[in-house]
Structure 1
Amino acid sequence: MVPNLQLSTQRFDKFQFCTFYLLLLTFLLSPIAAGAVDITQQLHRPLNSSVGRQLRDEADSLLNIGEQQYKSGYPDKTIASGLQALEIYHSIGDVKAQGLTYNLLAKAYVQQGRLKEADDALRRGLAIARDTQDFQSQIFLLNNIGTFLLQQGETPAAGKTLEEALTIAHNVKNIEGEGLSLSNLGLVAARERDYNKAIKLYENALIFRRQTGNTIAQANTLNNLGDAYLASGNYQDTIGSYGAALRIAKTNSDRPNQLRAIDGLVTAHTVVKRYERAFDLLEQRLALANELQNLHEELKSFESYAQLYEQVGNYPTARNFYERAITLARRLEDSKREVFLLNRLTKIQKR
């Protein structure tokens, strides 16, 4: 969702939460316990037959393939590989490997927007993690379940789930888990519009996230912090937080956080009428979208340009960018966006 450059702080709340959730799912579902790439390093139960060992090797291979398919953006193939692996692990009684497979399936279901199946896979994985006393998996699975509950509007339940994750992480001294849990609890506070609490949680989360050296995690929390400052009307710290996120994301070629930070900065600079800086940032955004050959991001860039030109009263140029955005929306068969843009264009043509 592209930030509306004429948003008031109140209207920004809805944008803020949607952005939080979409970006969280992209990031948070990645570090669940061990990845498929190290499946062969996991401690399997010993098998007595060569047939059993062959089956396990086949399942491990399927899980590795599924992980690569997920990273390459093929969730349908990931699910097919994961389900095959899951069937084999079930037949040989490898419970821990079943848990790893459910984690992979959850990621792929989320990528397809199949949230019910993703939620089921996460909860099955959590049950296995509890049975096997795999505390690391419990931490990350509870965090992901918490984000589902938050997206569904079940804020108190989400908070309770994330508090459990934080307690486990603290007890087993899992720094990565503490940072993640605190950052997600910040989302809960922001959802409740308690921005001061959210800011404190994000700042605490950053302490742990910096210790891990995970720059993607740091940029994600800094963007969350920027969202909270923006919603509370503290534009100086808004720009500082998004700016820090942008610097880290650029250094590490972290495109999602880079785009998100730019969007936040454009909104903040526009609010304080620093239009020249906002245009500079949009130029960077469009160049990045072109570099990625991502038409969806190019569409968002055109829309943001149109809104900014409309904001400064340059209606001819605004119309031009709305028309370019409409063309892309049609190409992408995004009828909802097309209708919205046509409505904006109609209004601006009357001026």
Structure 2
Amino acid sequence: MKPRHLLPGLSILNFQNCGEFRHIQKWQSRSFYALLLAVLLMPNSAIAIDITKQMHRPLSVSRDERTYRDYADSLLRIGREQLAAGFAAKTVESGQEALDIYRILGDVNSQGLTYDLLAGAYLQLGNLKDAEDALRRRVGIARDNKDFEAQIFALNNLGTLLLQKGEAKAAGQTIQDALAIARNLENIEGQGLSLSNLGLVYTRLGNYNQAIKVCETALIFRRQTNDVIGEANTLNNLGDAYLAAGDYDNTIGAYGAAMRLAKVHFDRGNQLRAIDGLVIAHSAVKRYERAIELLDQRLAIAQFLNNPVEELKYFASAGQMYEKIGKYTQARNLYQQALTLTRKLDDKKQEAFVLDRLTNLPNK
């Protein structure tokens, strides 16, 4: 099984977008962010739980090695289904049990795949410490096995995680290591991924011209492999660089291209990310009506996905937009809906933010 890139949609806001746990991503592709970003169909939650109960029966000591291996492989498969369905805690249980068996069997390659899975689950849970540990172990296994292709994608995963932690220089060095391997192997996919992630690093470091340059080069490699989701992700990275540089025309062009590609290919994570960037850019040049239209598209996607976290982002952002243009009644209504969602989600940080906006909203 090929290695995966866990963070293909990583933006400067979440692990991709993670935050945003993402929805039906190209999980089997090595261009993931990822978190993440899965071709596995999201299973019915009741079915996923029932399967988990069946698979977590005690092992019989009479089972031979083949049976143990089949059982561990089943746990790994179920873990991926659980992660796609949003059951990250269950994924950790399945992954840890599979890992124990692979260790007993001495199956190092499968241990590496399991660490990929565990990293994704820990990221979905917001546990960056254990996610980093899993990714470093994944890198170590790839190096021990002299699996250079696996190293490319494992190092990119680790680099994007370090970037999310705010360690931009360490992230840049890690991704540069991946790029060097990809170039030595003449691996087109690996070069596109590494350059795209370096664009994020340079943006974070404030080197916007370099960020734009490497993202444009990354697009060439992405298009050579027909990696449409990877191309949309790189376009979003390019949009981030232009936005940080204050070049709003090119910002809108890059995010607009990303949004169109993502929409056609049902890549909701990149579509939402592009919309968020476009809202900021249009607002900056006072195109408020267009920004509000885009926010309405964001709400439609969030409701289609039945994702309250993404709905919350809409209500909070739309409230700020209406507040900015002086429509305080609409802003107050949106903030109230956002407040209801923060309490439903038990999101104390966002609850405090929304309460602050409501408190300071003019009574007009």
TM-score calculated relative to the size of structure 1: 0.86
Summarize the Cα distance change of 1:152–1:296 in structure 2 as closer, same or farther, 3 Å threshold. Answer: closer
Q: Which has the higher contact order (CA 8 A, sep 6+)?
A: 1
Q: In the alignment, is the contact (CA less than 8 A) between 2:322 and 2:328 conserved in 1?
A: yes
AA matched with 1:163: Q
Summarize the Cα distance change of 1:280–1:17 in structure 2 as closer, same or farther, 3 Å threshold. Answer: closer
AA matched with 1:267: I
Structure 2 match to 1:19: 13
Q: In the alignment, is the contact (CA less than 8 A) between 2:18 and 2:124 conserved in 1?
A: no
Q: In the alignment, is the contact (CA less than 8 A) between 1:215 and 1:248 conserved in 2?
A: yes
Find the aligned partners of 1:72 and 1:62 in 2 and give their Cα distance: 15
Cα displacement (A) at 1:33: 9.8
Structure 2 match to 1:248: 261
Structure 1 match to 2:84: 71
Find the aligned partners of 1:254 and 1:237 in 2 and give their Cα distance: 22
Cα displacement (A) at 1:209: 1.2
Q: In the alignment, is the contact (CA less than 8 A) between 1:166 and 1:177 conserved in 2?
A: yes
Summarize the Cα distance change of 1:87–1:20 in structure 2 as closer, same or farther, 3 Å threshold. Answer: closer
Quick check: 1:154 aligned with 2:167? yes
Structure 2 match to 1:323: 336
Q: In the alignment, is the contact (CA less than 8 A) between 2:152 and 2:178 conserved in 1?
A: yes
- 1:93-125 per-position Cα deviation (integer Å, ceiling 9, x unaligned): 111111111111111111111211111111111
Cα displacement (A) at 1:194: 0.7
Structure 1 match to 2:283: 270
Cα displacement (A) at 1:197: 0.6
Q: In the alignment, is the contact (CA less than 8 A) between 1:32 and 1:141 conserved in 2?
A: no
Summarize the Cα distance change of 1:219–1:197 in structure 2 as closer, same or farther, 3 Å threshold. Answer: same
Summarize the Cα distance change of 1:248–1:36 in structure 2 as closer, same or farther, 3 Å threshold. Answer: closer
How much identity, in percent, do the aligned residues show?
57
Structure 1 match to 2:306: 293
Summarize the Cα distance change of 1:331–1:33 in structure 2 as closer, same or farther, 3 Å threshold. Answer: closer
- 1:66-104 per-position Cα deviation (integer Å, ceiling 9, x unaligned): 122222211122111112221211112111111111111
Shifted more, 162-171 versus 50-59: the winner is 50-59
5+ unaligned residues in a row in structure 1: which ranges?
1-15, 38-49
Summarize the Cα distance change of 1:29–1:165 in structure 2 as closer, same or farther, 3 Å threshold. Answer: farther
Find the aligned partners of 1:95 and 1:331 in 2 and give their Cα distance: 42
Structure 1 match to 2:93: 80
Quick check: 1:346 aligned with 2:359? yes
Match of 1:95 among 101, 108, 128: 108
Q: Secondary structure at 2:13's aligned position in 1? A: helix
Q: In the alignment, is the contact (CA less than 8 A) between 1:289 and 1:297 conserved in 2?
A: yes
Summarize the Cα distance change of 1:92–1:332 in structure 2 as closer, same or farther, 3 Å threshold. Answer: closer
Cα displacement (A) at 1:154: 2.6
Q: In the alignment, is the contact (CA less than 8 A) between 1:102 and 1:122 conserved in 2?
A: yes
AA matched with 1:164: D
Find the aligned partners of 2:169 and 2:343 in 1 and give their Cα distance: 40
Quick check: 1:137 aligned with 2:150? yes
Find the aligned partners of 1:109 and 1:312 in 2 and give their Cα distance: 40
RMSD, aligned α-carbons: 2.5
- 1:123-173 per-position Cα deviation (integer Å, ceiling 9, x unaligned): 111111111111121011111111222233332222111111001111112
Q: In the alignment, is the contact (CA less than 8 A) between 2:11 and 2:237 conserved in 1?
A: no
Q: In the alignment, is the contact (CA less than 8 A) between 1:30 and 1:107 conserved in 2?
A: no
Structure 2 match to 1:109: 122
Cα displacement (A) at 1:241: 0.5
Cα displacement (A) at 1:31: 4.0
Find the aligned partners of 2:79 and 2:16 in 1 and give their Cα distance: 22
Q: In the alignment, is the contact (CA less than 8 A) between 1:32 and 1:137 conserved in 2?
A: no
Shifted more, 194-203 versus 106-115: the winner is 106-115
Q: Secondary structure at 1:183's aligned position in 2? A: helix
Summarize the Cα distance change of 1:106–1:20 in structure 2 as closer, same or farther, 3 Å threshold. Answer: closer
Structure with the larger helix share = 1
Following TM superposition, the consecutive aligned residue runs of length 4 or more in structure 1 with deviations greater than 3 angstroms are 24-37
Structure 1 match to 2:176: 163
AA matched with 1:93: G
5+ unaligned residues in a row in structure 2: which ranges?
1-9, 33-37, 41-62
Quick check: 1:216 aligned with 2:210? no
Match of 1:281 among 283, 294, 299: 294
Structure 2 match to 1:55: 68
Q: Secondary structure at 1:349's aligned position in 2? A: coil
